[in-house]
Amino acid sequence: MKLLEVNNLKKIYSSRFGGNQVQALSNVTFSVEEGEYVAIMGESGSGKTTLLNILASLDKPTSGEVLLEGKNIVAIKESEITAFRRENLGFVFQDFNLLDTFSLKDNIFLPLVLSRKSYKEMKKRLKPIAEKLGIEQILEKFPYEVSGGQKQRAAVARALITDPQLILADEPTGALDSKSTDQLLKLFSDINNEGQTIVMVTHSTKAASHAGRVLFIKDGEVFHQLYRGSMSKEEMFEKISNTLTVITTGGAANE
């Protein structure tokens, strides 16, 4: 079943006085099935961050539509968009976006507080997630007291606690060391295997090789896509590397 449908997405940025126009996305069309794990890759300036911002309803396209379970999120009123985002989407960012004056537990609870859930409900939801992510012992600590990997686990817990339809991850391994990166990628694979749909923008070939499908964006369009199928992570890594080489050298991608 298609959870996310992106149809003919175009985004043109104009300068303040309308003199210069930059086309960030020209005609992006793809869909994501429920339970899929999709990575989006491309060179800097290819449009992948713009695409993620539109999927996150943080930006609106110039034209086209984004359907989440058949609902066009582009058409949602500004007054309703924050609640829609909170109830349907989970976010994992490169720089964690945790509040330093809140404990990890309170950071994780924040979207539920904003949704006016009871404390009893919040505790009930947190327990299995904290166990799964291995952060039960550090919930009372503050972000500045824990490692980057632990911060990112707390950020993943915050994304999961609302039981979102879709997790959007923006360079989630970008600020992590290699050990924490491996732990986070295993974690993403585990939660995806449990049915969570994930769309991740990344520069990392290693991170993308964990996904079930990789979309390559070039010059504001979907240039190519790779499906994992029966490939190992190592084989997927090599395929992704070859495709990125083709993109940077201006060749044509092969299946």
| Share above pLDDT 70 across residues of the chain, in percent, rounded to a whole number | 96
Residue 13 banded pLDDT, cuts 50, 70, 90: confident
Per-residue pLDDT tens digits for 210-219 = 999 999 999 8
Question: 25 near 11, Cβ under 8 Å?
Answer: yes
What tokens were used for 136? 């039960």
Taking 80 as the threshold, does the pLDDT of residue 250 lie above it?
no
- Bigger pLDDT: 33 or 247? 33
> Which residues lie below 8 Å from residue 199, measured CB to CB, with a gap of 6+?
4, 32, 38, 40, 52, 55, 166, 167, 168, 169
Cα–Cα distance measured from residue 64 to residue 98, given in angstroms and rounded to the nearest whole number: 33
Write out the CATH class of domain 2-97+164-249. Answer: alpha beta
Q: Taken in order 81, 199, 170, 60, is the CA torsion positive or negative?
A: negative
Cα–Cα distance measured from residue 158 to residue 153, given in angstroms and rounded to the nearest whole number: 9
The confidence score (pLDDT) of residue 95 equals 84
Cα–Cα distance measured from residue 202 to residue 243, given in angstroms and rounded to the nearest whole number: 15
In a 13 Å sphere around the CA of 112, the CA atoms on its Cβ side amount to 22
Q: What is the average pLDDT score of the chain?
A: 91
What is the pLDDT averaged over residues 242-250? Answer: 86
The confidence score (pLDDT) of residue 21 equals 83
